[in-house]
């Protein structure tokens, strides 16, 4: 199941999966809307019989501000997307997985969950909270057969970081701190997600 607010994008991704002779459906969803998320879980179970793995990768990067200059409306909007949306999705997935007596939830945190960063108070706070939420859910649901983990990527070349990549000075500073000397590629995360989704984890 491919789910996002971006309807055109999810249908294209679902089509790529179908081209590999696998079943796929695209479901539009806003993760900050609990009713839409509940419907996503229900449609998934209707189509496939269960919800075995949920990857929570909806989120965005905020604009850079000194902490004291962060606009509150931007803070609230980003925390709603990056943290509340993940919590809503975890709750819906958790309820289904408790019924099934098992499942895997993989949240996307950030290296800033641990390092703090600079000039991104709303983003760092939301992603730090994801790390804490993941630990709490892992503790609460382990006895119910549900594994809850998080992947904490560094700097990845995505639409979220386009402004950072385009800023010549900031891009240089970032690349100087990355041992591989390059931005991460989203494909770099695939192996970690597959492992965490598997019985090996």
pLDDT, tens digit, 9 for 90 and up, residues 8-32: 889 999 999 999 999 999 999 999 9
Going by the DSSP 8-state scheme, the letter that residue 181 receives in this structure is: S
Give Cβ neighbours of residue 86 (< 8 Å, ≥ 6 apart): 31, 56, 58, 59, 107, 130, 133
Coil, helix or strand at residue 116:
coil
Q: Find how far residue 199's CA is from the centre of its chain.
A: 21
What residues are labeled active site? 123
- For residue 83, pLDDT beyond 80: yes
pLDDT given at position 131: 97
Q: What is the mean pLDDT of the chain?
A: 93
pLDDT given at position 81: 93
User: Residue range 51-69: average pLDDT?
Assistant: 88
Q: Are 20 and 5 in contact (CB under 8 A)?
A: no
Beta-carbon neighbour count of residue 14 at 10 Å?
Answer: 19
Tens of pLDDT, residues 131-151: 999 999 999 999 999 999 999
Going by the DSSP 8-state scheme, the letter that residue 111 receives in this structure is: T
Q: Structure pTM?
A: 0.91
Give Cβ neighbours of residue 87 (< 8 Å, ≥ 6 apart): 133
Give Cβ neighbours of residue 176 (< 8 Å, ≥ 6 apart): none
Ranges 63-67, 88-92, 95-99: which has the least confidence = 63-67
User: Residue range 165-192: average pLDDT?
Assistant: 90
| Band of pLDDT at residue 59, cut at 50, 70 and 90 | confident
Beta-carbon neighbour count of residue 31 at 10 Å?
Answer: 25
């Amino acid at each position: 199941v491919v789910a996002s607010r971006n309807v055109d994008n999810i249908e294209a991704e679902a089509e790529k999966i179908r081209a590999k002779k696998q079943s796929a459906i695209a479901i539009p969803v806003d993760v900050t809307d609990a009713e839409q998320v509940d419907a996503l879980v229900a449609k998934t179970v209707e189509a496939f019989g269960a919800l075995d793995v949920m990857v929570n990768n909806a989120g965005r990067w905020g604009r850079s501000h000194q902490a004291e200059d962060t606009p509150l409306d931007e803070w609230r909007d980003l925390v709603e997307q990056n943290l509340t949306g993940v919590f809503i999705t975890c709750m819906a997935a958790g309820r289904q997985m408790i019924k099934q007596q098992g499942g895997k939830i993989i949240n996307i945190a950030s290296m800033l969950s641990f390092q703090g960063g600079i000039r991104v108070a709303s983003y760092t706070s939301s992603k730090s909270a994801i790390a804490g939420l993941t630990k709490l859910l892992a503790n609460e649901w382990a006895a119910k057969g549900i594994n809850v983990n998080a992947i904490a990527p560094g700097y990845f070349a995505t639409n979220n970081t386009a402004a950072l990549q385009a800023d010549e000075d900031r891009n240089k500073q970032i690349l100087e701190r990355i041992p591989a000397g390059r931005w991460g590629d989203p494909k770099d995360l695939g192996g970690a997600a597959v492992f965490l989704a598997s019985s090996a984890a």
